[in-house]
Amino acid sequence: MVLEWLSDDGWIVLERNIDRDKLRFQETIFTLGNGYVGSRGVLEEGYRQGYPGTYITGVYDSGGQLPEIVNAPNPVVVEIYVDGRKLSLDEMGVIEHRRILDMKRAVLYRRTLFVDGEKRYKYRSSRFLSLREQHLGVMSFSLEALDCDASVTVKCVVDGTTRNEIQAVGDPVRHYTVMQTYGMGRDPLYLAARTDASGIVIGLASLTEAHNTGGSCECQIKSHGDENCVFREFSFQARRGKRYSFTRYFSVYTSRDTQRNIHTSCLAEVMRARERGAAQLLRRHTRCWRHRWRYSDVAIDGDPAIRQAVRFNLYHLLIAASPEDMDVSLPAKALSGEWYKGHVFWDTEIYMFPFFMYTQPKIARNLLLYRYRRLEQARHNASMQGYKGTLFPWESADTGEEVTPMLWRGPDGKIIKVHTKPMQHHIVGDISWAVSMYYMVTGDIRFMLDYGAEVIFESARFWASRVNYDEDTALYHIPEVTGPDEYHKGVDDSFYTNYLARWNLLYAASLYREFLGSHPRYIKKLGDKMNLPCSEVDAWQQVGGSIKLGIQDSGLIEEFQGYFDKGNDVITQRNASGMPVYSKDEDKLQHTQLVKQADVILLLHLFPGDFSRKTREINFAYYDARTTHLSSLSPSIYAILAAELGDISKAYNYFHYVACGDLDDYFGNTDLGIHAASLGGVWQAAIHGFAGVKLVCDRLYINPKLPEKWRMVKFNLLWRGNTLRVCLSNDKVEILLGSRKKQLELPACIYGKRIQLQANKLLTVVK
């Protein structure tokens, strides 16, 4: 593991020096993960501003308040003392520093040259969380005293004092109690902790090998533990100019994921790792990553900064998603921070899910199963609010209960009341939409029969109980909701919500009929389970067809009932990145037509076949002039619509802003964690926006509208178990439908030309 192996082809993120004001920001950027654990990219020795975060997917705890993802004990601490002085930013100067995140292989490399008076010490490290061995992390590090011999102590710690420090409201919380620390002789270190309320046992083991401290010098090894930490020290006399190297293996298991003895599992993992050795483990890890990227990469030719930024966004999605676990989903900060308490929002289904659905369908399936496996709780949530069917929580953690906090800290630092919980009911339609898309893209009928249809039907049942009938207009209305635009709370007939409800009801009715024809026994069984008579399905059709939709003859959509009566403020100023400048006083904003984030425009994106070009144009122009993009969920959607409508310069502006949003800290709070929804939005903007790829009613549309400097974009998609290899520019699309089924065909429409894709035949279409 040496830096020289790396070649940069848009695959690395490089830090050239230490910026002491941005340490937490960099920790987020350099987060490592393998879908099981996420570990913030801390400098392993620790420093005053440090915010080490180790998050194990699905490990939540309430500890007297709402459940949040637990900041678990930290296994990556390495402290080094030379002649009694600690190598750290707090105690020494730094002459030179480089960190490199190799996104292709998810490995973090570092080289820091510390200076203490006249004496220089070179520290190098690399670490990864194995994608192959999900419970294992590997770290290599070395020290060189450049100017003198020195007496050195290397201390490898498993730190059980970590807390969830970052609270919007209230004090930091330590969510676990350490039960056991063990580190006798040369045995691996072991620490076990139990979360306070959820009772999950977390075990961590650590085994460090010193490679060349013997021979010319004696190495003394000591182990210590107190009630919260366990550590091993290596003390030796270092010769000037000689490099001393160490390899550390660490493992994590919890009672969530093993029936076996956690202690045994942890120890066995690090012992096995030592036998294999770091080089072989890295090879195995690299192979898995190669496979991951094979379907996930979007290679943009002609715009190196954006090529790298897009990969950065995809990297952060990939390190957070569990390939195995169907009881976890993706939190709003993925596994890179604890802001929003590690809760799962609609961000997952509407923003992140499409990327997984088209590139890693197994992960997409698991994300839906996470919801399905909480259906019973969602039924309970609905009945608690007086509705039928299923009401998924606006914020979800481990159990599927509604866990939205009552108070939160707003962007200006003020504590505000949260109004979303009882009103952001569009989450029900968002999840149904994801289920329907998954079915269309993967054709996974088994999933639909076993789980998906039930979600769709229960959601339809919810909407049918959520509407009010108005006899005067003979229309159904949905009162008091909050749509995606959170400036306007508790509104009536939100277009986004009503349209999704309408679609959900009609889709449920048609799916029921489809399955009644194709799988009657199944429908009978599900009907019995849900106590679902045909008359109820007829009612879905009838209600769905008569829901109020506020759309004018011109095609202009009213975001909600009375929206056009609000103050007609428009964005008059934009900053250098093309983003709106406006007054952020939410009390005033709610009385204006200014919109917090993509709302009507998002709906147009979700249903590309349903609205004419004219309708999309009119609404884009109207809402683009009124959207503040306060939420990072917004600009990617405007980029998609702008690209589709041919305003490439506007599309590129929005796209650039979000693609670099975290890397360049445009959102201003990346220190708290990555903006996971936006990561997914970036993929959608590249593929659905610029590449112009859409699957509508089982037909593949491709209509590229690339920014001028993008010479070519290459990517793969998965469709019904087959591969679509795409390479396109503004003038030419090359596409190969790879399939084992020789007769397979896929109807397509490329640059407006209707074409039939045939299995394993490369097709080139010139504009």
Q: Using CB under 6 A, list all residues that contact ligand IFM.
A: 332, 340, 345-347, 484, 486, 631, 633, 677
Residue with tokens 């019995």: 528
Least Å distance, CB 425 to ligand IFM, is 13
Kindly tell me which of 497 and 631 has the beta carbon lying closer to ligand IFM: 631
Distance, CA of 424 to CA of 90 (rounded, Å): 46
Structure tokens at 174: 């330590």
Given a contact cutoff of 8 angstroms between Cβ atoms, the answer to whether 741 and 734 are in contact is: no
Kindly tell me which of 462 and 496 has the beta carbon lying closer to ligand IFM: 496
Positive or negative CA dihedral for 256, 258, 262, 266? negative
Given a contact cutoff of 8 angstroms between Cβ atoms, the answer to whether 670 and 23 are in contact is: no
Distance, CA of 250 to CA of 128 (rounded, Å): 10
Give the SS3 label for residue 189: strand
Least Å distance, CB 677 to ligand IFM, is 5
Distance, CA of 72 to CA of 51 (rounded, Å): 12
Least Å distance, CB 334 to ligand IFM, is 11
Structure tokens at 579: 């983003």
Residue number of the CB atom closest to ligand IFM: 345
Kindly tell me which of 68 and 347 has the beta carbon lying closer to ligand IFM: 347
Distance, CA of 361 to CA of 367 (rounded, Å): 10
Kindly tell me which of 118 and 587 has the beta carbon lying closer to ligand IFM: 587
Distance, CA of 368 to CA of 455 (rounded, Å): 10
Residue type, 96: E
587: exposed, middle or buried (Cβ count in 10 Å: 0-12, 13-18, 19+): exposed
* Axis-axis angle for helices 495-518, 520-530 (nearest 10): 130
Strands of the sheet containing 37-39, edge to edge, are: 32-33, 37-39, 54-61, 68-71
Kindly tell me which of 60 and 340 has the beta carbon lying closer to ligand IFM: 340
Structure tokens at 644: 């589709």
Least Å distance, CB 394 to ligand IFM, is 8
How is residue 3 annotated by DSSP? G
Given a contact cutoff of 8 angstroms between Cβ atoms, the answer to whether 232 and 189 are in contact is: yes
Kindly tell me which of 120 and 629 has the beta carbon lying closer to ligand IFM: 629
Closest CA to 350 of 135, 103, 607: 607
Closest CA to 351 of 131, 658, 669, 623: 658
Q: What is the largest CA-CA distance in the chain?
A: 94
Residue type, 380: H
Least Å distance, CB 644 to ligand IFM, is 22
465: exposed, middle or buried (Cβ count in 10 Å: 0-12, 13-18, 19+): middle
Distance, CA of 232 to CA of 222 (rounded, Å): 6
Least Å distance, CB 395 to ligand IFM, is 8
Q: Is 200 left (phi over 0), alpha (psi -120 to 50) or beta?
A: beta
Q: What is the dihedral of CA 12, 17, 19, 22, to 10 degrees?
A: 10
Least Å distance, CB 198 to ligand IFM, is 23
Least Å distance, CB 636 to ligand IFM, is 13
Taking 3-state DSSP, the helix, strand and coil percentages for the chain, each rounded to the nearest 5, stand at: 35, 30, 40
Kindly tell me which of 340 and 457 has the beta carbon lying closer to ligand IFM: 340
Least Å distance, CB 443 to ligand IFM, is 30
Kindly tell me which of 412 and 528 has the beta carbon lying closer to ligand IFM: 412
Distance, CA of 128 to CA of 106 (rounded, Å): 6
Kindly tell me which of 25 and 340 has the beta carbon lying closer to ligand IFM: 340
Closest CA to 310 of 301, 302, 298: 298
Kindly tell me which of 484 and 635 has the beta carbon lying closer to ligand IFM: 484
Structure tokens at 588: 């005033």
Distance, CA of 340 to CA of 331 (rounded, Å): 8
Kindly tell me which of 75 and 483 has the beta carbon lying closer to ligand IFM: 483
Least Å distance, CB 675 to ligand IFM, is 7
Residue 599: which residues within 8 A CB-CB, separation 6 or more? 483, 484, 485, 494, 495, 496, 559, 623
What's the half-sphere exposure (Cβ side, CA atoms, 13 Å) at 327?
8
Instruction: Give catalytic residue positions.
Output: 486
**Cβ density class 338-354: b for 16+ within 10 Å, e for less:** bbbbbbbbbbbbbbbbb
Least Å distance, CB 351 to ligand IFM, is 9
Distance, CA of 127 to CA of 621 (rounded, Å): 48
Kindly tell me which of 235 and 669 has the beta carbon lying closer to ligand IFM: 669
Least Å distance, CB 121 to ligand IFM, is 42
Give the SS3 label for residue 701: strand
Kindly tell me which of 331 and 452 has the beta carbon lying closer to ligand IFM: 331
Cα–Cα distances in Å, from 41 out to 368, 523, 541, 598, 745?
29, 50, 52, 32, 46
Least Å distance, CB 332 to ligand IFM, is 4
Given a contact cutoff of 8 angstroms between Cβ atoms, the answer to whether 101 and 13 are in contact is: yes
